[in-house]
Amino acid sequence: MTTPCIEVEAYLKDLQDRICQAVAGLDGAPGGFREDLWQRPQGGGGRTRVLTGGPVFEQAGVNFSHVFGEGLPPSATKGRPQLAGSAFEAVGLSLVIHPRNPYAPTTHCNLRYFEARTEPVTWWFGGGFDLTPYYGFADDARHWHATARAACAGYDSDSYARFKAWCDEYFFIKHRNEPRGIGGLFFDDIQSGDFARDFAFVKSVGDHFLKAYLPIVERRKDRPYGERERDFQLYRRGRYVEFNLVYDRGTLFGLQSGGRTESILMSLPPEVRFRYDWHPAPGSPEAELYDVYLKPRDWLAGPG
């Protein structure tokens, strides 16, 4: 008999294969992804794949993990405190892609399934995908959110609006008082009581990721840029580092559960730059990112 964890594992491994093949194909670098298989001493392990130094993607990490243990870490029970200390099993796919061209955005996607060994078993899904541009383009934002909306079609009627708002709230850098990017979808503790229905939704999100992201990279990857754009990209990558190390629940879960550090921190960009109290010049393309794109909004409202 196929258990839910095994069913989710099979899908996520296949999705990892499809994403890596597509990303490596667009990048074109010889060798493609490096693969590391790892074991977690407390139970389980994973399959990490990382592409570095490519002509299109400076770094792309796509990580599958299947871990289990005797006690859920605090990051996994924040919304379910009654499960603290429960034995658990967790399956997940997490990826972060950092393009080389500053006009191409960074992206993140995560899909996960948890089981807590209660009686009866408590299970739930989480995940989503979000986009972090360095220079904003309205057509990219509309395409991204239109694809996110399509991924939610057939689930609850308010799914896109609800999960978009959740994403805007979650990927917010509180100490900077600014969003990390233009959002997308974020959901956690998804459990309608119908596993097949919830799993079908999660698969739809996973299957729409490449449709959402690759066309944007294809449009932007060859756009000319100079040191100014590269400098701003490295500066804004610092915000990505801050969020992942301070707030991200996936990073915290990996570290608290004793996961493989290299796999957990593959999300960090290979190069980054921090500056003291820097602000873009008013009216500049860099200021436009803050003034127009780092503002939660309905990108699908109105014409276009």
Q: Which residues are known binding-site members?
A: 94, 98, 108, 110-112, 145, 175, 258-260
* Residue carrying structure tokens 């999660």: 202
Token output for 30 = 């010889």
CA dihedral 280, 286, 292, 294 (to 10 degrees): -80
CA distances (Å), origin 270, targets 52, 81, 195, 265: 8, 36, 38, 11
Q: Rounded to whole angstroms, how far apart are CA atoms 291 and 294?
A: 7
What is the spatial distance between Cα 32 and Cα 23, in angstroms, rounded to a whole number? 9
Q: Which uninterrupted H or E stretch holds 245? A: helix 227-246
Cis peptide before 282 (omega within 30 of 0): no
Q: Which of 66, 108, 143, 208 is catalytic?
A: 108
- Known binding positions for substrate: 94, 110-112, 258-260
Give the rounded distance of the alpha carbon of 141 from its chain centre: 16
Which residues fall in the annotated binding site for a divalent metal cation? 98, 108, 145, 175
Helix (H) or strand (E) holding 45: strand 44-52
The helix/strand/coil state of 128 is strand
Q: Which residues, 6 or more positions from 21, have their beta carbon under 8 angstroms from its beta carbon?
A: none
Contact 233, 134 (CB under 8 A): yes
- Annotated active-site residue 279? The verdict is no
47-86 CB burial, b ≥16 within 10 A, e <16: bbbbbbebebbbbbbbbbbbbbbeebbebbbeebeebeeb
Q: Which residues are catalytic?
A: 108
